[in-house]
Amino acid sequence: MPVRSGLFAFAVLVMACGGWLLVPELVRPGETGRLQTTAAASRDREASASRSLLAARLGAIRGDLWVDAAMKLVAASSGASEAARDDASSRAIHPKARVAAERAVRLAPYDAAAWLAFATVLRSARTSEGGHGPTTATLLEMAFLTGPGDEAMRLPRATLAVRTDAIAVAGIQDFVARDLYRLAARADRDQVFASLYGQATPVGKLFLERVAVEIDPTLRRTMTRFPG
């Protein structure tokens, strides 16, 4: 009897663990690709973010789910603003994005996407308050340190850096320059650099011009001629 009871308890534990792993994956939305900034697309982002957040709550301590939720909530928050929807929608999403990002970095501190999401959330909050503090640069630095070779992170990291005062930090400039050299090898490098230049702060523009000249002088001319 003790053996049977032990086996039964073990079976229940295995089933519970299986459910804990499976249920969040059933709730979690698949990749939807890049959505256009229309009201309908913004609603799709919000629906996807809500499902990701529910999956993360069900997974509880699964850092990967919180990273996914944080990234989707950040996209939904920015999408609501870009689609010219009521700012109340963006304001409602932002606190959830911050909570998800904080849990993501706590449960998955090894994931560059978690730090990037947190830095993006913090940047959005401080935009309305005016200025960007050193904390944004610190979080962005962690996004570089935890994923130095992560190809998927190169463009979003560089974009956030040149859009904020973090680009004035020498250490951040070194990290971004490395990413820019890799981005310059892409077939669509002219469009990538023009987009970065169009979104950059004045300090970010000067930095991009300097790095572009080092990579290829013609890249600087193309980038500044068609800023985004």
pLDDT along the chain (228 residues), means of 10: 62 64 63 44 72 82 86 75 50 79 91 91 59 70 92 93 91 94 92 93 94 91 74
Let me know whether 214 and 146 are in one domain: yes
Let me know whether 76 and 160 are in one domain: no
Let me know whether 218 and 138 are in one domain: yes
Let me know whether 144 and 223 are in one domain: yes
Please give the model's pTM, rounded to 2 decimal places.
0.77
Query: Is 149 domain-assigned?
Result: yes
What is the reported pLDDT for 1?
Answer: 55
Range of the domain at 141: 131-228
What is the reported pLDDT for 76?
Answer: 80
Query: Is 139 domain-assigned?
Result: yes
Instruction: Tell which of 58, 73, 108 closes a domain.
Output: 108
Other CB atoms within a 10 A radius of the CB of residue 18 amount to 10
Helix H segments across 63-163? 63-82, 87-107, 112-129, 134-145, 151-163
Q: State the total domains in the chain.
A: 2
Query: Is 126 domain-assigned?
Result: no
Other CB atoms within a 10 A radius of the CB of residue 6 amount to 10
Query: Is 190 domain-assigned?
Result: yes
Which tokens is 45 given?
């982002």
Which tokens is 30 given?
């698949």
Let me know whether 71 and 142 are in one domain: no
What is the reported pLDDT for 130?
Answer: 44
Let me know whether 162 and 88 are in one domain: no
- To the nearest 10 degrees (0 to 180), the angle between helices 112-129 and 87-107 is 140
